[in-house]
Structure 1
């Protein structure tokens, strides 16, 4: 599997344990060089996709871009620049002709139970293609009409923070971070067969919201490395630019 995600595993523990205020310090960045991955959610009027299925598609698509064959070829440079900086994602919604148009841009589309998401190669924010920039960010809230079933055995679970409401767009970005962190840790642990099996399943996950006591019990605590080696758990900690406070843990990824 591609080593493109190695920098994530290398700095994971330091990022998770740094003070909340430090997560929003961008003084070392050149604004003209900042990259973000567009995650396009297909949200047709009828039928509207299931929120859970759409999040699972977004989680898989973000990782699929990082581990695609192109990640070690023509996509290597932009991915490296993005992953060695801040891992920004911007979710947008599209339907009809706009959904068709985003397929002219490099990326990967994943479908889960009829819901589709396409993650694109990260662009410098100042150079975002018009096809993408014209798509709306807001309005992506989608309630689940049914309670998701229990996660299937052998599938990684992405647990959403039950104490922090997030729009579908925000949650889509967060679960995309989670799959990347999980894959980075599997790669660092030389779990090659696990990664290959996950890739063969199109990086399928189960996105669920736990009860508050279960969430608290699952948090990594002061020793993130121990939580990974003993429980197979990694955490997404948000910088707090949108919707949540800086330093908020938004998702826990649990290894299958």
Structure 2
């Protein structure tokens, strides 16, 4: 079954080289060649499903943080990292092409059916997000393919507090407006770039701590410094919602300073 056009699709590439991903030459021509190579490979997508009950929707920031932790949880799972991990081949194929993430929403029976498929459910204070191993772009399981991808908007009941000292922060671009689902895909990608940039010891430490992190919107002044500091930076491919090349999230992990 072919997946419908997804406004929460986040096919993105790192703006700085990342450990754990193939190093690519810089420059417009080199970037174009690298993109062509990725596009020629079989394309996969990482599905994420957020539980969205009408009566009790999750807070926006909690959903953004939970989706980021869901991506990290999958990347650290033995089914991905183990030598004979059952998801390892699919994750490798997904990472070798465009790194697409699509967030869909489910409630009630839809959520229960999604939970029966192989995957991992990660919970936040109010949010629940289930992440699944990558699937072919045109080969979604029927239980996920029928889920809605548009129209999801979430709010924070009150402004989130300042991040705790020492906690990794995924900083959102204050000048780019995105839907909640699109932003969830972007924060998931930023978390992945941070994961790639860490060495094995730091990855293990982060995983054992339960992947603490915060998502906040940077001030315009702070954003300028964040994007020029060499930290992992998400540039969106521009397939949905925003212009190609838009910088959306900076992953600021203390170990990267």
Same fold (TM over 0.5): yes
Q: Deviations over 1:216-237 (max 9, x none)?
A: 12113xxxxxx34xxxx21111
Equivalent residue number for residue 13 of structure 2: none
Other-structure match for 2:172: 160
Go from structure 1 to structure 2 and tell me whether the alpha carbon gap of 1:28 and 1:174 turns closer, same or farther (over 3 Å shift). closer
Alignment of 1:94-105 (within 5 A): 94-105=106-117
Cα displacement string for residues 89-129 of structure 1 (whole angstroms, at most 9, x for unaligned residues)? 11101111111111122222111112111111010011100
1:201 maps to what in 2? 209
Kindly tell me: are residues 253 and 75 of structure 1, through their superposed partners in 2, closer, same or farther at Cα, counting changes over 3 Å? same
SS in 2 for 1:250: strand
For residue 234 of structure 2, the aligned residue among 193, 214, 236 is 236
Q: Give the Cα separation in 1 of the matches to 2:172 and 2:224.
A: 12
Answering whether residue 149 of structure 2 is matched by residue 137 of structure 1, we say: yes
Note the C-alpha offset of 1:210: 1.2
Are the equivalent residues in 2 in contact too, given 1:24–1:246 (CA < 8 A)?
A: no
Partner secondary structure for residue 104 of structure 1: coil
Greater shift, 21-30 or 73-82, is seen at 21-30
Which structure 1 residue ranges, 5 or more long, are not aligned?
1-6, 221-226
1:119 to 1:16, Cα distance in 2 relative to 1, 3 A: farther
Match for residue 226 of structure 2 among 218, 228, 235: 218
Tell whether 2:246 aligns with 1:248.
Answer: yes
Mark the CA change 1:133 to 1:102 in structure 2 (over 3 Å): closer, same or farther: same
**Aligned mate of 2:94, from 82, 95, 102:** 82
Distance in 2 of aligned mates of 1:44 and 1:112? 15
Using the TM superposition, give the Cα deviation of residue 201 of structure 1 relative to its aligned residue in structure 2, in angstroms.
Answer: 2.8
Q: CA deviation at 1:147?
A: 0.2
| C-alpha distance 68-248 of structure 1, shift in aligned 2 (>3 A) | same
Secondary structure in 1 matching 2:131 = strand
Q: Structure 1 pair 28/115, CA: closer, same or farther in 2 (3 Å)?
A: closer
What does 1:39-54 align with in structure 2 at a 5 Å threshold?
39-54=48-63
Structure 2, unaligned stretches of length 5 or more?
1-16
Once the two structures are TM-superposed, the CA of residue 16 in structure 1 deviates from its matched residue by 7.8
RMSD: 2.5
Gap change, CA 1:169 and 1:16, over 3 Å in 2? farther
Alignment of 1:169-184 (within 5 A): 169-184=181-196
